[in-house]
Amino acid sequence: MSSITWNDICAARERIAGYAHRTPTLSSTAINGMAGATVVFKCENFQKTGSFKFRGAFNTVASLTPEERAHGVYAHSSGNHAQALALAAQLHGIPAYIVMPEDSNPAKVSATEGYGARVISCPPTHRGRHETAARIGEETGAAFVHPHNEPRVIAGQGTAVCELIEDAGNFDVILTPVGGGGLLSGTSIATATLLPNTRVIGCEPAGADDAFRSIRDGRLVTDFTPETIADGLRTPLGDNTFAILREHVDRIVLVSEQEIVHAMRTVWERMKIVIEPSSAVAVAPLLRGEFAERGLRIGVVLSGGNADLEGFFSALSPQAAA
């Protein structure tokens, strides 16, 4: 594996400066009360393309050599990495080819196309994705940008927690969701340097508990069928992220689907911000009192805000048309 260091994260910060938003931190007295602790949220739902993924994608594209960039970049992604890589490529003036499963959220597909990418549809299976992506790579000669196992992606994702710590100070615990593990890996490497006594904990849907089982059993679980509303967390870890999590992460906590929906609703209602289900996964443990300890300071990376609003607004339309 490629080892990723604090220096890689510092270099990523310089590359993304002026391109990625420095997103705000928010707090909520109501949620502090429910959590029984002091919680600071890093709002990557306000990041460009609506999620933290822009950090890693931009850092990777910015790190490519002119020769590597010449034929553009490609990736497979169910959503947020797709949009992020599309915009990163557009800002560098190079083509992006994005392989997306047929059952992807239509809003995410059209957003990806809106950033100038060419979207290639594929069967909604692990194998379908990989075969289609391989073909696109051969046809175009583009550079592959893995959504979470790519070291430059991981370094980019590590920049969010640096800003959180700069803006809000010390933490006892830092929580992020874990899907492919890019955000959690980058966060854990940065925190190990900035706040070596802080526990970094990954939050995962019980219906896609591959990271939990991988860490518990000491071997990478990739063969599973995710069943979760948190569409950003259905992918397995990669070998790089698995190795980093084993070294730097305190533990993985699991949450139920009901807890995810409850957490999402609580954030929408109390904080008046839109987060997607994957983000709510890192809020859910707080609401069941998992970290209810007076004086405990907890940082949470709200990973994205690309929730599918179609159902809600199509239900409103007949009323609006009345």
Q: How far apart are CA 26 and CA 216, in angstroms?
A: 33
The secondary structure element, H or E, covering residue 189 is: helix 182-194
Contacts with a copy of itself, 182-221, as mask; x by CB under 8 A: ----------------------------------------
305 binds a copy of itself (CB under 8 A): yes
Nearest to 286 by CA among 49, 101, 39, 93: 39
Q: Quickly tell me which residue has 């957003």 as its tokens.
A: 111
Q: How many CA atoms lie within 13 A of 70 on its CB side?
A: 5
Stretch that binds a copy of itself, among 176-184, 196-204, 266-274, 287-295 (CB under 8 A): 266-274
Which of 229, 245, 281, 283 touches a copy of itself (CB under 8 A)? 229
272 binds a copy of itself (CB under 8 A): yes
The CB-of-304 to a copy of itself minimum distance in angstroms stands at 9
Cβ distance to a copy of itself smaller for residue 249 or 255? 255
Which of 91, 221, 261, 296 touches a copy of itself (CB under 8 A)? 261
Cβ distance to a copy of itself smaller for residue 49 or 149? 49
107 binds a copy of itself (CB under 8 A): yes
Look up 53 and say whether it is catalytic.
yes
Q: Is the distance from CB of 144 to CB of 72 less than 8 angstroms?
A: no
Would the CA dihedral through 246, 248, 250, 253 be positive or negative?
A: negative
The CB-of-45 to a copy of itself minimum distance in angstroms stands at 5
How many residues form the binding site for a copy of itself (CB under 8 A)? 31
Which of 137, 274, 288, 296 touches a copy of itself (CB under 8 A)? 274
Q: Quickly tell me which residue has 């899907």 as its tokens.
A: 179
Nearest to 158 by CA among 12, 1, 2: 12
Which of 45, 187, 214, 240 touches a copy of itself (CB under 8 A)? 45
322: CB partners within 8 A, 6+ apart: none
Stretch that binds a copy of itself, among 12-20, 42-50, 130-138, 193-201 (CB under 8 A): 42-50
Which of 268, 288, 293, 296 touches a copy of itself (CB under 8 A)? 268
C-alpha R_g of the chain:
19
The secondary structure element, H or E, covering residue 204 is: strand 199-205
Of residues 77, 78, 185, 278, which has the active-site annotation?
78
315 binds a copy of itself (CB under 8 A): yes
∠ CA 118-55-13 to the nearest 5 degrees? 140
The 8-class DSSP code of residue 104 comes to S
Nearest to 283 by CA among 180, 176, 198, 179: 176
Cβ distance to a copy of itself smaller for residue 186 or 305? 305
The CB-of-192 to a copy of itself minimum distance in angstroms stands at 30
Structure tokens at 239: 């070998």
Of residues 51, 53, 77, 188, which has the active-site annotation?
53
Q: Is the distance from CB of 153 to CB of 56 less than 8 angstroms?
A: yes
The footprint of a copy of itself (CB under 8 A) covers 24, 45-46, 50, 107, 227, 229, 257-258, 260-261, 264-265, 268-269, 272-275, 305, 309, 311-313, 315-317, 319-322
Active site residues: 53, 78
